[in-house]
């Protein structure tokens, strides 16, 4: 499978959606693209685009709901809904809202207020254990959500109930809307913090689909009594050189010149 082509295709889709709608979060969408591609195209979660509510599907909560352009692009590329609908992104009378909307096939829960998704994911994982269901729950969170108290409450819950069917993925791009995380409130050492909360913790390159696949395959094959955290080191704005690591691109919309430059890079 040509992951590089898929990755560029998805990033082009995100760029077009945000440029055409004049709204959206391009930096955080670009940073999590390869994680989503690994989960879906790498077949690391169970899903069926024709049956999005399949009972034994794995659940994915994209808690960083502002990365809707990325998730919608991936879902449409897989056939959850028609790609033409992406043209309605953030327009009036659309279900493709700026933040994720559960009316869209493949979206499990409305997200956008940071810190809410992990609690929901923990509830799904706990419910599955109580009902002896085999599906796993994956939760993709931003590192900015580690500033939210509700995130740490959910981590305590997950450890207390030994939710070994829960996989948390941290999109560690080290930036929030205001600045770099370590220049706002220091989050490191993240690994030590997760371990102290009773989690099995793995670190990987969040832009290497090969390495991500290796991590997720190992998770599928390894039995553990602990909930799992995958810290995926990423770059905000990944894929377009002038956006990478630039705080401006948390929520900025490219002008005509910037759009053309970005398109050239993603077409190369």
- Number of domains within the chain: 1
Which structural domain range is residue 95 located in?
3-267
- DSSP 3-state assignment of 122? helix
Q: How do residues 168-185 score in pLDDT, each as one tens digit?
A: 999 999 999 999 999 999
Q: How confident is the model at residue 113 (pLDDT cuts 50, 70, 90)?
A: confident
- Cα separation, 242 vs 27, in Å, equals 11
Mean of pLDDT over the chain: 97
pLDDT in tens, 213-237: 999 999 998 889 999 999 999 999 9
The CATH number of residue 12's host domain is: 3.40.50.970
Alpha carbon of 68 to those of 104, 111, 128, 182, 213: distances in Å?
Answer: 11, 9, 26, 25, 22
């Amino acid at each position: 499978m040509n992951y590089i082509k898929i990755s560029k295709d998805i990033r082009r889709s995100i760029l077009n959606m945000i440029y055409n709608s004049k709204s959206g979060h391009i930096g955080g969408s670009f940073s999590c693209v390869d994680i989503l591609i690994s989960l879906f195209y790498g077949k690391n979660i169970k899903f069926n685009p024709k049956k999005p509510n399949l009972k034994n599907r794995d659940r994915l909560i994209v808690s960083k709901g502002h990365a809707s352009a990325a998730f919608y692009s991936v879902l449409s590329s897989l056939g959850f809904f028609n790609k033409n609908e992406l043209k309605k992104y953030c327009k009036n009378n659309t279900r493709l809202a700026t933040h994720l909307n559960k009316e869209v096939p493949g979206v499990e829960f409305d997200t956008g207020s940071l810190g809410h998704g992990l609690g929901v994911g923990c509830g799904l994982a706990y419910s599955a254990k109580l009902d002896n269901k085999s599906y796993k729950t994956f939760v993709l969170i931003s590192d900015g959500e580690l500033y939210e108290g509700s995130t740490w409450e959910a981590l305590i819950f997950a450890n207390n109930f030994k939710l070994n069917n829960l996989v948390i993925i941290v999109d560690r791009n080290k930036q929030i809307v205001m600045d770099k995380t370590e220049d706002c409130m220091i989050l490191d050492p993240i690994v030590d913090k997760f371990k102290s909360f009773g989690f099995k913790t793995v670190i990987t390159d969040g832009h290497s689909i090969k390495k991500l696949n290796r991590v997720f395959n190992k998770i599928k094959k390894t039995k553990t009594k602990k909930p799992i955290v995958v810290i995926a080191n990423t770059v905000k704005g990944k894929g377009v050189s002038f956006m990478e690591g630039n705080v401006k691109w948390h929520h900025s919309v490219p002008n005509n010149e910037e759009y053309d430059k970005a398109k050239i890079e993603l077409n190369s």
